[in-house]
Structure 1
Amino acid sequence: MRTVVDVRDSNSTTTYTNVGPQPSDSPPSGSRPAFSQPRRARGLSMQREPDFNTNIDLDGDIWLPDKSDVELGEIPENEGDFSSWLGVLIAAKEKHGRDGVLAVWEAVKRRRSWKDVTSEEAKSFWGIILETVLHDEDKLKGVALFAECLLHDNSAQWPSLYLTTVSHCLRKGQYRRALQWHMRLMPNFDPGQEAFGTLLRQFAVTAEPDMHQTLQALYLTAIHRGFYNEIIPLLYESGLSQQCAGWRHAFIRHDDLPPPNAESQPYLSFLARYYPTTTLELEEQVVIGLNSKAYWDAQDDSLWEAINDTHGDESGPPGRQHSDKLGARWFASSWVPLDFAIHAVHALGVHHIGPLSLQSIALRESTAKGVMARIEQLRTVNIGIGHSAYAWVLKRFAENNDDELLAELLHTDIHPDVFDDPAILASIRDKAFDEGDWKTHRLLLAVQPAMVEDSVDSTSNILLHHFVDEGRFKQALALLDEMRTMDIEVHASTIQHICASILDPLPWNPKTTAHNQEAFSTAIAFLTRLTLLQKPLHSRYWQKILFGLGKFGRFGVLEEISLGILDTYQHLCISNAGLLPVHLLDAPPLGVESSARNVLVPTDLPISHEQHPMRRIFDNPALHAAIVRWGFKAGGSQCLDPAKDVSSDSEATGGGFSLARGVRLLAVLNDRGIPFRTSVVQEEVVKCLARTYLSRVSGAPRMNADLPPLKSTLELFNKAAARRLLPDVAELQDLMTEARGKQRRGL
């Protein structure tokens, strides 16, 4: 006797019948016998409507009542034939979509001896079923129950059950559901340390608070630790420093602290600079102090002596070159910590390393990202990698994150010095082609564009130096534009040369001469281009420009430049979400020994922070008072026309506010996050009004009757400031009288 299972789709129940129909039985009206008579072939039949009754013969027949059979393939006789099962499943999915997959799934659930979960066919098979039920909570619970039975009975773990389910919930913003499934699946279907870390990193790069709260809950309720150096650097480099705080707190609570390496050093250095009241754990303090010679002194004095023996005697001149061959041996020695070796060489006064040393350092890293981190580490301690072709190519491959080409370069038999000889390099390339050594041939072909870039890069910077030296500023600006378009790096030495030649000579209190005005216009052009190139420039240069424009009476240009600076910074933050460079003199002190020339800050650093790069330019009381004064002077010609009603001025940022143009500009800057220093602005406005409205006749101050009514002017300033800046007329007159008296006394 055969057993027939009646399976109802979706939320139906399953019933088992022990007696099958006999050949003499007559089917009820409107129904179909459980066995087709006759059948052309055994196959799979499904209906397309969402609700249906499927008759599944445990011996293999699957078909639907009241529907014509659709032959999709033979039902495999055993669970081990995954190729056949996968073929049936794919055919069912292609012809009947979700319903087809669910029908096969119902057949799968009746077979309990599945064991293959590792073959590619099995992974695809179980993956298709899981993807189909993810949107249906009840069916997903059925899959989880089946997977638990599969694990219990056959020690077979449904592949990627945890990762697929939790990732789906997170991707759909179903955070509560993600946590619920995490709690259910993690005990039996733990994906492992590496895969769990990958999941956290995959979804952590977002500013959405609910996502981070959920991910932290997953972390806190899992057994896996050691993610400080994976999550914190990732968030920081993505410009998500505000999210770092929550993660850091979670890590500290669970004693998940960083090891003494440089991975988290950028974030912790930022934290120590910009949030100095934050208490750092001892392990974090060690990470920040990795650049300090004092840290390495405490590690092993014998290592210092060994390194010193390698790089020369202590009587050598500062900044001396080290022996590249011997240095490479030390950098390659596994018994010498690489961090120690780098900082020891720095402490010995070495400012450049050769290609062999660079190769040894790079060989101790497993990825292009790691190599770039080491190059950046060298840069922060003022150690250059030289100008050899090999160094340039290595850096270019690392910057492009090309792990494969970088590995081939590091392990090639070609000596690094050969890369500086194009003729020999070409002969090696041709020989590799003739001998069929495609790996070497491919590497040398890839090297050529990088070497050409090096040539273009060097030539462009040399030419830029030349143009600046000769005062050919139009050509220099055009070259800067071309370098930006072609993504050619402007060297730090070139920027220093521009600053020394063009920006540093600008006076803080310039006389209004044609020469000075031209010099300031040139400086503005260079500053704008260097800012777009994301080069760290000291805030004093922009402040010089603003003060100079105010002195020249070019208030309209000052308004445009001020808003342009803020707009450009905002644009850079949006288009380059991550880190932006800040000049070292514009950054708070770190509190420990550091050789860093520039500082990187995350783009999400709130402008409310007093050390924000934009506030370093604009949040200056002397500048605010000067802007009020310059705006008052610039708008004076409009206000001093008695026929003009100052209260009817437009709300434009520019001349519409006449005497209050400066106050209006400060209010607009305040809308962008720059603090509005009310007391400073009010005091300067009162001084300006006193000078303009009050004159002395017979020793007593008297109101100038030729000016607009003081009440109208008062209302104008309050409107420009978008707040009650000035008091009522009577009190304002008293303040003006007092201010005029101080002016007369020279106070």
Structure 2
Amino acid sequence: MRPALVRLLKRPSAVSVLDSLVSTPLGIEQLELNYKRLRCQNRTISQSTSLNGPEFGSQPSATKESPAAEHNKSNRQPFSFRVHEIGSSREKTDDDIPHPKKYPSAKAPAQDHPRSLALQPERLEFESDIGHTKDIGAKLVDDPARRHDFALWEELLRHRQRHYGDKGTLDIWEGLTIRHGGIELPVDGEHADFLWESFIELGLKRGLLLQEIVTYASELWKKTGKRWDRFHLKVVGGLLERGMVQQAVTWHENLQHPHLSNPNDILHLLEPAISLGAHQMVDQGAIAPGVRAFRQICRKTQVRHIYGPVISRLLQSGLGREALWMHMFFVSHNEHPRRFEDIQRLLQYAMEHTPTHVYQKLETYAMDTFESQRAESNDRNATTAEERVENYMVKEKPFSDELGARLFATRSFNLDMILSGLRMLGVTAIGPQSLREMAVRAHGSQDLLEKLRLLQRSGISVGDSVFARLIRRLAEEKRDILLSDLLHSDQHPDVLEDATMQESLLISYYMTRDWRHYQMTLAILAELSEEGPELFNVHFRKQIVAGHLKSAAKVVDTMTLRGRTLTKDSLDLLVRKALGPRRPGVGPPVRFGLHPSKEVLVVFRILKRAVPKGCHVDADLWVEILKRFGMTHRWYEVRDCSLWLARFYSSLAKPPGNEPWPIHPSDQHKARVAIPPAHYGSDMLKAIFSSQMQAALVSWGFRCRVSLSEAKAYNPFKVKGEQLVPWVRGLVLLRKLEQHGIRLARYWIRRTCRHRLAVLFGRDRLSSRPRNRMLRRENPYDVHQVTQDMNRAWGSHTLFRGWEVKDLHRLVNPPSTKMSLNRTRRTVFRATHLRKGAFVRTR
């Protein structure tokens, strides 16, 4: 059955039908089913159509058809697909394909390009195979005249996508950037949209490729001053649609210039942010992650007049809680509604779904905002001279905050007198210093709240600063001691807006045990931070700066239980403070009073808890952790860390349901919030376990100080009666890593094994490494036993390619480099001429 089907599909008529189905976005129902004897009609039409038909722009045939043939042709309906002469594809050569002198540009419509390759599947397969640098000059795109023919590039890309999926798209990208450098993609037109969208769609699945595309777009902008208008939307919006919210914020910050023409264009990102938040809520009562990411994007962009569209769209999507959250953000950044209709629906939602004090606060804000606008509008409509004079007298003037503070501090004036004077002067708002003096004169929280209500009824606002919000909140919560400390603090109210300064003060108060100021600063940060009252990241950074790594680890444990994750600032501080600098080739220094290995172990445990919750860690940091474990001779930590990394990152490419860590049913939505692309795990493993790292694992396996009792106890494969030399544990670990998809660098592994054998059994050379001299001096094993156990740990006799049998002496004495010989001469000289100076401890 299969050979018959293959022969049927190879017929030119079948190829024509299949090509029509692929190239035309119509359903199968569009094909005319009333045609019979298709082969006969094909033969009839083929006889009247030359090889260079209308499709190739040739002149019509001069042969005149008979009247009967013309009658049959007129009665026959046209085919919706092309019909070709049998054998035409075999007779066509490269000369039959037209090569016009000037090809359509990227701005020209797609139909102007002759689709000469669409009828030749074999030729199309050959021409689209350009993801390499072989046979340069044999393809159409190698021709300088066709190299910038983007209609041809689009045709090749569609073919590779149809047959090879993402691998085909990657081939075309490599053909554009590697096979031929200097090709500038178009930035407008249908060809540009298709090419950029295809490449970015693949880049969203592969992080390294996305970085290449961004670099290419930046170089194109620097070189030509051109860019694709939808680049920012496709990258950031695509990341939001995939739930990669932190990466979306980071890429937005990197792509603002030059890919964001107008700051208000971020409104296009609201739809993917809402679609993410509508079905991937972290837990009930929490803010949707997509909206949280959109708020961070707004914070990093100078947007104006987007209050109305954002709040309206959130309410339409049923995200009322998020709408209130964004309202507070907009107001704190001086972004207010321009019409009462922009806030009317939000007021209705707050009245129906929020506590009374929340609705009252929102209603007060709306009254303060729009009643003053209505009064100004009425003033502009007044026409009489008397009203104009009155309006001039009551017109709002700038009011000095220092003067207001003096008024409230004067005991001769009561509050009613001060309010009457402010109304007469047309004052609609007072500053933080005036508010502080008024609060200092209040008798307790209830009296302060009553005075705030009097100000509100008088139409005088206290603003929306951190100081004003904090005073109102502390008074409502009746925290009189904390309120008194805030009012009598020597900090200016404007300093309370600086989160970095407040966090620095918090750490200082914590280390000096000044608990009253510590609690006050903690309340200020709770008003400033997006985390709310928990302030997990602030407490984590506080413990890191104070040197309490174990307390920081407990904070991370609590964050894991609550479903929170560390921010990038917290991770950077952890690496900078906990690990500290290290000279190349030298072990880590002692910090925080802990042994370097224990210090690195605490960092590893923190990252081990944070990474599964969506916290991104660079591969360089994992490499540094493995190096520090190996340099401090902590083999079991090296093994556990390597196996955990292999299990975790190899599981990221598995389908849902194969999570590498246990997930509580209530946290399943939480685990899907930041799912990385499919190739993220494999790229991380490739970067961590490079050829140099694999060689280091083998070398660290030989560093243990063995004895006969330890040798008897080493049985990695759990085979009864089997005893292996403990030095082969690096090879055993590599075989386990191979089971998780890590490709082994066999050349580097073999080279390292020969080097370690030379240290133990090679020529008697004085080593500058104390551990190498100790291992050679205490070596209880025979070279034959060690090589046999290495082959058993490797799983075959291909490790040394039979040299252990043919030429053992050559195996354990590899050629020495010039650097190695110079180091040996220097060591011998020191041992001969210097006292206690021959062996300098380098590791």
The TM tier, using the shorter chain, reads 0.3 to 0.5
Structure 1 length as normaliser, TM-score?
0.43
**Larger strand fraction of residues:** 1
Structure 2 length as normaliser, TM-score?
0.39
